[in-house]
Chain A
Amino acid sequence: MRYSPTLLDHFLNPRNAGLMREPDGTGVDEYEGCGDLARFFLRVRDGRVTEVRFQTYGCGPTIAAASAASEKVVDRPVEELLNLKAQEVEDAVEGLPEDRKHAADVVAGALRAAALDALRRREGEA
């Protein structure tokens, strides 16, 4: 099989898929030249991520990577997500084939953008 059981499970039963009302941060990333897109919504309390929602457009691995990553970032300080690496997202789905690595890139990119948005909004309020 080309994809790990974890990846297939997240693809078939995505966790945290959908929209969020009044999020504290949103971020989008699109893979250049490819239609793949991920959008994340974060709820942040006391500097930590308490809730995540996502939407994706792309091949199966992108959906799975977004779902797996959404579970990994809950309870973490939002600052930490500014440095989220694609490798961590890839590890969350137990690896990606060479021609699908961009799934992790786009998900990590969208999460970093959402974290940055949340921090900027907080600074704006301060």
Chain B
Amino acid sequence: MTRRVYLDHNASTPVHPDVVAEMLPYFGERFGNPSSVHGFGREARAGVDLARERIARFMKVPADEVVFTSGGTESDNMALKGLAFARGKGHLITSRIEHHAVLRAAQWLETQGFTVTYVGVDEHGMVDPDEVKRAIRPDTIGISIMHANSEAGTIQPVAAIGALARERGIPFHVDAVQTFGKLDFDVNACGIDLLSFSAHKIYGPKGVAGFWIRKGIKVQAVQHGGEHERRRRAGTENVPAIVGFGKAVEIRGRDMKAEHERLTGLRDRLWEGIRARVPDVRLNGHPTERLPGTANLSYRGVESESIVLGLDLKGIGVSAGSACTAGSVEPSYVLVAMGLPLDWAMGAVRHSLGRSTTVEDIDYVIESVEPIVRKLRAAMPVGAA
């Protein structure tokens, strides 16, 4: 049987077995609607309450400030649209490398009369807090900067930006989908007011995420209906998923630090191993200020998807930094914003490691990638990119 190696943890992760065990009763015996007054409802409510408490404890925030949503995308939409519509008009600041959930919400707000400044990043994918500072206007109503980008993995200076925002009393939203439960950070110390974070990136289920709103920060609800989530997010709670999310976060509180060290070592082993064997390869993202499990490498003159396919046939799951769809080829907007030349950007491959990744997996990937790139380069016209 072919060896199978999953190096796409920034896309999604397998649900932790302890998380699955915690969820199972909530599909059957504890199936009730948490809004119901009877015992069935109360059992479900208790599950949701416990999950909220576990997450609040992990974040060191009051439990009633945590809202459950359907995913990181909903949390990000709630942050941008919620901030904007609670204020009616004004100016927002975000960056060019945000997730589409933030970028497209911001672009839509521009069609609704709001103005937006998109700050750039340096060659390592880092936002400059001074550029954010210069972008602040008297009518700035919110700043949204992600904690780490899913592609390059560069960790943003959110504490410095948070300090700026706090000084001027501007609400600061951070999309922490890629860092929550992976990096140890404190929303209070970082001056963060709103945080988006997701379950399925940290061995929890898909279809559930969190949105934390600091007390006193006004956010207009985006979805209207019942009284759920203190009227901040209408809709019957996804109880089994929320229960699993709580458990996943609890486990992260226990395992996060040790895994951070282990994955950083494996990530660097991967890069060093490939660099020693393959010519014309570079590491994208910050050399040190980067997610522990993320290594985005560019092979010059080779097309990403060919490498992804070659590795897939060896049982290895990685993701392409450029997407070739009929009619257009799209190099990653993140890598383009970092100023990466096209012939490098087109050959970007992201490896994202996780809990199950072993030294043997990494060595297998290193061995596999060299002949694939060599063969592809043999069929590629020089300078075609």
Residues of B within 8 A of A57 (CB): 301, 303, 380-381, 384-385
Contact, CB under 8 Å: B306 / A34:
no
Contact, CB under 8 Å: B306 / A58:
yes
Residues of A within 8 A of B384 (CB): 35, 37, 55, 57
Residue of B nearest to A16 (CB): B379
User: Could you tell me how many residues of chain B have their Cβ less than 8 Å away from some Cβ of chain A?
Assistant: 22
Cα separation A89 to B327 with both chains bound (whole Å): 19
Cα separation A54 to B326 with both chains bound (whole Å): 22
Contact, CB under 8 Å: B326 / A58:
no
Residues of B within 8 A of A77 (CB): none
User: How many cross-chain pairs have Cβ atoms below 8 Å apart between A and B?
Assistant: 72
CB distance from A109 to the nearest CB of B (A): 15
CB distance from A11 to the nearest CB of B (A): 7
Contact with B along A39-68 (1 / 0, CB 8 A): 100000000000000111111100100100
Contact with A along B261-303 (1 / 0, CB 8 A): 0000000000000000000000000000000000000000101
Residue of A nearest to B314 (CB): A12
User: Could you tell me how many residues of chain A have their Cβ less than 8 Å away from some Cβ of chain B?
Assistant: 28
A17 at the interface (CB under 8 A from B): yes
Residues of B within 8 A of A36 (CB): 324, 329
B21 at the interface (CB under 8 A from A): no
Residues of B within 8 A of A11 (CB): 306, 309-310, 313
Residues of A within 8 A of B305 (CB): 59-60
Contact, CB under 8 Å: A102 / B381:
no
CB distance from B384 to the nearest CB of A (A): 4
Residues of B within 8 A of A54 (CB): 379
With A34-B329, A35-B385, A57-B385 already in contact, the answer to whether A12 and B380 are too (CB < 8 A) is no
Residues of A within 8 A of B324 (CB): 34-36, 58-59
Is the contact region of chain A dominated by helix, strand, or loop, or is it mixed? mixed
CB distance from B220 to the nearest CB of A (A): 39
Residues of B within 8 A of A98 (CB): 326
B328 at the interface (CB under 8 A from A): yes
Cα separation A50 to B378 with both chains bound (whole Å): 22
Residues of A within 8 A of B327 (CB): 32-34, 102
CB distance from B118 to the nearest CB of A (A): 25
Residues of A within 8 A of B375 (CB): 12, 14
CB proximity to B under 8 Å, residues A100-120: 100-102
Cα separation A37 to B369 with both chains bound (whole Å): 23
Cα separation A120 to B281 with both chains bound (whole Å): 41
Contact, CB under 8 Å: A12 / B313:
yes
B325 at the interface (CB under 8 A from A): yes
With A33-B329, A35-B346, A98-B326 already in contact, the answer to whether A63 and B313 are too (CB < 8 A) is no
Contact, CB under 8 Å: A58 / B309:
no
Which listed residue (A8, A55, A102) contacts B326, Cβ 8 A?
Answer: A102
Residue of A nearest to B301 (CB): A57
B11 at the interface (CB under 8 A from A): no
Residue of B nearest to A58 (CB): B303
Contact, CB under 8 Å: A18 / B379:
yes
Q: Give B contacts to A, CB under 8 Å.
A: 301, 303, 305-306, 309-310, 313, 324-329, 346, 375-376, 378-381, 384-385
List 9 extra interface pairs beyond A34-B324, A37-B384, A39-B381, CB under 8 A: A11-B309, A14-B379, A17-B379, A18-B379, A34-B328, A54-B379, A57-B380, A57-B385, A102-B326
Closest 10 CB pairs of A and B: A57-B384, A60-B309, A17-B379, A59-B305, A55-B381, A34-B329, A35-B329, A99-B326, A59-B324, A33-B328
